[in-house]
Amino acid sequence: MAAKYSEFYSIMSAIKRCFSRSPNHREALNKAKCPRKKGPRGGARYVCVECKKDFASKDVQVDHIDPIVPIGTLSKDMTWDEVVGRTFCNISNLQILCKACHKEKSAEENADRRKIAKSIKSNPK
Ligand SMILES: [Zn+2]
């Protein structure tokens, strides 16, 4: 893809914003909703698949189990069609994580990406 690094992230966040309004996003959240439990102000609670605790909707995020940018792939090597296709994925690839668990998963993925990028750099073909 031809976009610069900063452009990539601004376009990516626009794609994610559209995804957050999609039926699959809503369905993933609905699946994680506690059937009986309500928050202090009567709001719905959602269970994080990782820590199993329940949170208000503002404190959970819909995570792509298989990440949008696959580990070992550089975002600059992906087409926008691929990015959009992988963002608007099948419901089976979506899970609900609280912000802390999502942050941890993303950090692990990014560490793996850095490791792979480093090994590519030190072993150029
Ligand atoms: Zn969690």
Q: For 58-83, write each residue's pLDDT tens digit.
A: 999 999 999 999 998 888 889 999 99
Distance (Å, rounded) from C-alpha 125 to C-alpha 119?
A: 11
Domain limits at 81? 5-122
Task: Classify each residue of 14-33 as buried b or exposed e, where b means 16 or more C-beta atoms within 10 Å of its C-beta.
Answer: ebeeebeeeebbeebbeebe
**Amino acid identity, position 34:** C
The whole-number pLDDT of residue 106 equals: 95
| Number of domains comprising the chain | 1
C-alpha 122 to ligand 1 mean position (Å): 36
C-alpha 21 to ligand 1 mean position (Å): 22
**Amino acid identity, position 36:** R
C-alpha 25 to ligand 1 mean position (Å): 18
Looking at per-residue pLDDT, the higher value among 26 and 122 belongs to: 26
CB 87: neighbour CB atoms within 10 A? 17
The whole-number pLDDT of residue 125 equals: 62
The whole-number pLDDT of residue 10 equals: 92
C-alpha 49 to ligand 1 mean position (Å): 7
The whole-number pLDDT of residue 120 equals: 78
